[in-house]
Amino acid sequence: MGKSRNLKHNANPPRSAVAPRRFPRWATPVLALIVVAAIGLWWGQGRRANTPPAPTTGVGFEKLKGRWQRPDGGYIVEVRNVGPDGKMDVAYFNPHPINVARAEAAQDGAVTTVFIELRDLNYPGSIYKLAYQADTDQLMGLYYQAALQQQFEVIFLRME
């Protein structure tokens, strides 16, 4: 009988040898929800960063008309027309024409802004976000090169 007692006693391992507690069932969906929310916020911020400013009716858009050249290369923006709603008729050259998918001007307080999106070979959604500098008659701002996923500070000077 001493032997059967040892078998029963050894069948129940000590408490310290029991497997640790498992991950609570409710934690998995909560963590999944947090990850999805974080991705959504990240995605939303990225999309907001690539949207043009809200166009407003502006009389000062006429000053944007003309040919503008980046001094760091042969890049030329030709603003042919700007409607009162901010919609722009723009051509872009490097040195050959590159398709302009969208171009808009807006008035943000005293600042006139320009948004240009390029969609062409080697230009998969590259974006210019520029502001007109009245005192120097320049367009200054940022260029996002989508193919390289890099951003550059740029200046466009009016061509004579």
Domain CATH for 58: 2.40.128.30
CA-closest candidate to residue 92, choices 122, 62, 57? 122
Domain total of the chain: 1
The residue range of the domain holding 46 is 1-160
Which residues have C-beta within 8 Å of that of residue 83, sequence separation ≥ 6? 61
pLDDT at res. 51: 59
For residue 102 the two structure tokens come to 């969208």
Q: Write out pLDDT tens, residues 74-126.
A: 899 999 999 999 999 999 999 999 999 999 999 988 999 999 999 999 899 99
Written as one string, the DSSP assignment of 55-76 is: P---SGGGGG-EEEE-TTSS-E
